[in-house]
Amino acid sequence: MLVDSHANLHGEAYAKDLEATLDRARAAGVGAIVAICCRLEEFDQVITIAEKHDDVWATIGQHPHHAKDQPDVSPAWLADAARHPKVIGIGETGLDKHYNYSPEDQQIASFLAHVEAARLSGLPVVIHCREADDLMANLLEQEMAQAPFRALLHSYTSGPDLARRGADLGLFFSVNGIASFRNAHDVRDVIRDAMPEDRILVETDCPYLAPVPMRGRRNEPAFLPHVAAALAAAKDWSAEETERRTTDAFYALFAKAARPA
């Protein structure tokens, strides 16, 4: 089976057909999905989806776009919320200097609070990074030196330097539909050359970034096999090896998630 390690299932995108969307995913061989929380006020929506479906898990966190909304988010509060049995990760959090919807200092403060919550809870932190490679690498090295934590650089399309520095710190990576885009040669080069073979996951990041040949449509977990095919081509793996490696990596990182028999 495959695991969609990052899906945005709440909100308007699937309001009318969420159950059908999940059924299509199962039919496509997707055995588990992680519903991502990007705003703390949306956590109830996210966890409700996970509670209703045995094959859906959840995270708790705040995207850097929304760091300004709750700049004093408490690591203890996040860790306490993460005690819910369906919560398996902290985030998504991180840095986004492309849009800068939140000031950089608030993004950093929020990110560090999520890192501390990851330490307190023992759960991995799900990291978003866009146009902030050097700052992110420096923060990761600084924080890992203080006290270790587990982390995933999700939807990875950043450069080779952050990938290598992250890999040296033991981080995991997830690959999305961009790996299938015709001109994404640099993304495939990083996948091939910098991502450790036992620490790669796959994701859709739906409803965004639909892979080829579904590009231009609303993305959904059923399209995950196309992402896996792009990863397989970049790593010169078979389809079966890609399924096994990415699923093993998912359950190694998200150890709280119960693996199906």
Residue 115 lies inside a defined structural domain of this protein: yes
**Whether 245 contacts 3, CB under 8 Å:** no
CA torsion sign for 2, 171, 137, 103 is positive
Question: For residue 239, what pLDDT band results from cuts at 50, 70 and 90?
Answer: very high
Express as a percent the part of the chain with pLDDT over 90: 98
Tell me how far apart the 2 most distant CA atoms of the chain are, in Å. 46
For 68-109, the pLDDT digits (tens) are: 998 899 999 999 999 999 999 999 999 999 999 999 999 999
Task: Check residue 206 and report its DSSP letter.
Answer: B
Residue 172 lies inside a defined structural domain of this protein: yes
Residue 261's pLDDT is 80
Threshold 0.75, pTM exceeds: yes
d(CA 157, CA 178): 8
Mean pLDDT, rounded, of the chain: 97
Residue 139's pLDDT is 98
Judged by phi (left if over 0) then psi (alpha if -120 to 50, else beta), residue 71 lies in alpha
Structure-token match 């965004």, residue found: 208
Residue 69's pLDDT is 93
Q: Find the CATH number of the domain harbouring 223.
A: 3.20.20.140
Query: Collapsing DSSP states into helix, strand and coil, what is residue 167?
Result: helix
Taking alpha carbons only, the member of 186, 55, 74 closest to residue 133 is 186
Judged by phi (left if over 0) then psi (alpha if -120 to 50, else beta), residue 221 lies in alpha
Residue 260 lies inside a defined structural domain of this protein: no
**Whether 36 contacts 56, CB under 8 Å:** no
Q: Which two tokens stand for residue 26?
A: 């199962």
Residue 47 lies inside a defined structural domain of this protein: yes
Domain count, the chain: 1
Task: Check residue 34 and report its DSSP letter.
Answer: E
Taking alpha carbons only, the member of 62, 46, 165, 172 closest to residue 117 is 62
Range of 230's domain? 2-253
For 225-237, the pLDDT digits (tens) are: 999 999 999 999 9
Residue 183's pLDDT is 97
d(CA 204, CA 215): 12
Question: For residue 249, what pLDDT band results from cuts at 50, 70 and 90?
Answer: very high
d(CA 80, CA 84): 8
For 128-143, the pLDDT digits (tens) are: 999 999 999 999 999 9
For 149-183, the pLDDT digits (tens) are: 999 999 999 999 999 999 999 999 999 999 999 99
Q: Which two tokens stand for residue 59?
A: 């995270």
Residue 132's pLDDT is 97
